[in-house]
Amino acid sequence: MGTKENIQIQAIFFDLDDTLCATSDFSTQARFDALKAMINIGLKMDIEVLNTELKELIEEFTSNYPHHFDKLLLRIPESSYRGINKAVLVAAAVAAYHDAKHNYLKPYPDVLHFLQYIANIPILKGVITDGLEIKQAEKLIRLGIYPYFHPQAIFISDQIGFSKINSKTYIHICSSLGLSPHRTMYVGDHPMKDIDSANKAGLISVRIRREGKYKTLEGKTKACHEIQNLQELLQILEERYLGKEKNECLNI
């Protein structure tokens, strides 16, 4: 991997959050909208104080915990929402959060162009993402990028019994699709889950440093390539991994 010689790749996989879409930004904005909706219903609290409490709660219970707003009400003074039905407060927050999916959840501006470009190249295109299966699958649908990937090359950690922090994830996926790890590229933003693990499994790792929350975090190993956007990856692909000969088309 990463030698000066051309390696014709068989497949390219992408991480989802903060690689193809600005999940961190989306979540920040969606949660803020949710808190504003609670205040509009009558909750008497300063939004910044609420936001700090919500951030702490998410640190404690993880971002995939399904009852953030119910829990938030337990943590703030009951006097701040006396006389208001708690379910209405929570529902207002949940509705605003869901609405934000329409308003803010978009692919990064370079993503569609990149996916359209590689659509005609006979390599397998897929997604490997950690997270809850319906939540991650919904992002693929809402972002409008699902059609660019092979239906059998969508891997969500919840479904496969591995998390990406374990390099076996990548070995398992390559093996199940008959791919050589050293001819498989993986693009992600997380230095350990995406880069260290993919490196350990022998993949061609590409670290993308956008504005996501892991931008400045460093892992144990260096990525084979480091980019700031997918436009840069196009050039790397053309120069190093997509020789003039056609790659074989995989039949899965």
Q: Which residues bind its own copies (CB under 8 A)?
A: 37, 41-42, 83-85, 87-88, 90-92, 94-95, 98-99, 102, 133-138, 140-142, 146, 151-152, 154, 156, 159
Least Å from the CB of residue 85 to its own copies: 5
Residue number with CB closer to its own copies (25 or 99) = 99
Around Cβ 104, how many Cβ atoms within 10 Å? 16
The tokens describing 164, both together, are: 């990406």
Residue number with CB closer to its own copies (84 or 236) = 84
Residue number with CB closer to its own copies (119 or 141) = 141
Burial class (CB in 10 A: 0-12, 13-18, 19+), 164: buried
Least Å from the CB of residue 155 to its own copies: 8
Q: What share of the chain is helix, strand, coil (3-state, %, to 5)?
A: 50, 10, 35
Least Å from the CB of residue 151 to its own copies: 5
Least Å from the CB of residue 222 to its own copies: 32
Residue number with CB closer to its own copies (93 or 195) = 93
Least Å from the CB of residue 39 to its own copies: 14
Q: What is the largest CA-CA distance in the chain?
A: 71
Least Å from the CB of residue 135 to its own copies: 8
Residue 100: name the closest of 26, 173, 183, 2 by CA. Answer: 26
Rg (CA), the chain: 21
Residue number with CB closer to its own copies (99 or 232) = 99
* H or E, element range at 187: strand 184-188
* H or E, element range at 68: helix 68-75
Residue number with CB closer to its own copies (54 or 90) = 90
Measured distance CA(99)–CA(146) in Å, rounded: 21
For strands 184-188 and 11-14, give the pairing.
parallel
